[in-house]
Amino acid sequence: MKRGVTLYSYTGDFQMGTMNLEQCVADVADMEAEGIEILGETHVEGYPNPSEEWVGQWHGLMEKYHTKPSCLDSFVDSMLKKGSYLTVDESIAMLVRDMKLANRLGFKIMRPTFGKSPIPVPELIEKALPYAEQYDLKVAIEIHSPARIESDWMNSLLEVISRTNTKRFGFTLDMSIFSKRPPHYFEDRMLRRGAHENIVRFVGKAYEDHLGPEKTMAEVRKMGGNEADLSWASLAGVYHFSDNPPQDLLKIMPYIYHIHGKFWEMTDDLQEYSIPYETVIPVLVKGGCGAYFSSEYEGPRELFRASDQLRRHQAMLRILFGEAKETAVGRGTGD
């Protein structure tokens, strides 16, 4: 696997102007990471039709810092029109708009997010395949928590691959689907919203024990939980995370084209507090995954924080990839 960073990690610094696009790219290069992932609607000036000058500057940045475009994140905003969902043709047009952009910027992979819609995603994907061919792209939709690899949803997507035999459609694996316990960041946020400390502790334990939202909410009700407590105990709260067995990756390994190295908190001993990277990465390595592992910081949004947390994450990746054998702090990988 190759190391990269999604510039989404720097969203706050980028918006507030503490870092511009070049400074973000330079920061990634400083970690000796190679892949640069961006969001069209965040990082591309003049989206969706940047000027030739801007496109030239983009390629210039990649050359200057020895980085490569890894993945373009795209959104099919199915609720663009008030009162009705986008039609199939409108959805495809939106996707093609970003495919053209991806192609101009040198991306080989794009990750579209499809919105809530009566049109099944497999249908849209299949209609998009000829365009993926035309613009030389792999379309990699995201497997993000609360998704499960063993699920009807996943099977409906795998069915498209097996039936069409396409090499143009696969997955962006988001590490959130391996969350062992809820991140501090979210717990702290719920406490600020008025949740009770003992209940937040209980909900975290319930998640770890796979109690499920219904039972957890029933217990929280018995404990006298308030609105914040109940919201945290629900599917929209702690159960928005998921805890898939890493071995399930074997089922989809050949179709993983990109990886979001999601993380919220890299601790002082170089571990992600919620996600057991050390049990997932060996499965990917053994499976021969060659995708970009794109660090995606999504923890507390404080200016200047992403840059430091990303370095910890990248250091951990180097160790787990076997690029570096030892670590200055904490435990090693056992070899």
Partner 1 sequence: MFDKYMVPTRGFQNVRENGDIVGFQMLLRITYYRGIHLSLIGSLDVTVDGEHFKPEQLRFSLGDRTYTMDELGKEENVHWPFGQPAKLIVLKPGGLQPGIHDVQVEQRIVPAYMPQGMGFPGNMRRKITLVA
Binding-site ranges for partner 1 (CB under 8 A): 8, 11-12, 14-16, 39, 41-43, 45, 47-48, 75-82, 113-116, 301
Say if residue 48 is preceded by a cis peptide, omega within 30 of 0: yes
Integer CA distances (angstroms), 246 to 237, 240, 280, in order: 23, 18, 5
Pick 79 or 329: Cβ nearer partner 1: 79
Pick 57 or 327: Cβ nearer partner 1: 57
Judge residue 300's burial from the number of C-beta atoms within 10 Å of its C-beta, 0-12 exposed, 13-18 middle, 19 or more buried: middle
- Least Cβ distance, residue 39 to partner 1 (angstroms): 5
Quickly tell me which residue has 């939980």 as its tokens: 225
- For residue 198, give the 3-state DSSP assignment: helix
Pick 57 or 113: Cβ nearer partner 1: 113
Angle (CA) 52 14 59, round 5°: 30
- Least Cβ distance, residue 36 to partner 1 (angstroms): 16
Integer CA distances (angstroms), 99 to 77, 102, 121, 125, in order: 15, 5, 17, 13
Pick 2 or 97: Cβ nearer partner 1: 97
d(Cα 17, Cα 23) in Å, to the nearest integer? Answer: 10
Quickly tell me which residue has 């035999």 as its tokens: 165
Pick 14 or 135: Cβ nearer partner 1: 14
Structure tokens at 8: 């989404």
- Least Cβ distance, residue 208 to partner 1 (angstroms): 26
d(Cα 182, Cα 299) in Å, to the nearest integer? Answer: 12
- Least Cβ distance, residue 18 to partner 1 (angstroms): 11
CA 124 to the chain's CA centroid? 21
Pick 82 or 222: Cβ nearer partner 1: 82
Beta carbons of 203 and 173 less than 8 angstroms apart: no
- For residue 269, give the 3-state DSSP assignment: coil
d(Cα 301, Cα 311) in Å, to the nearest integer? Answer: 16
- Cα–Cα nearest to 292, from 84, 97, 36: 36
Structure tokens at 26: 């330079």
- For residue 83, give the 3-state DSSP assignment: coil
Pick 80 or 158: Cβ nearer partner 1: 80
Pick 223 or 303: Cβ nearer partner 1: 303
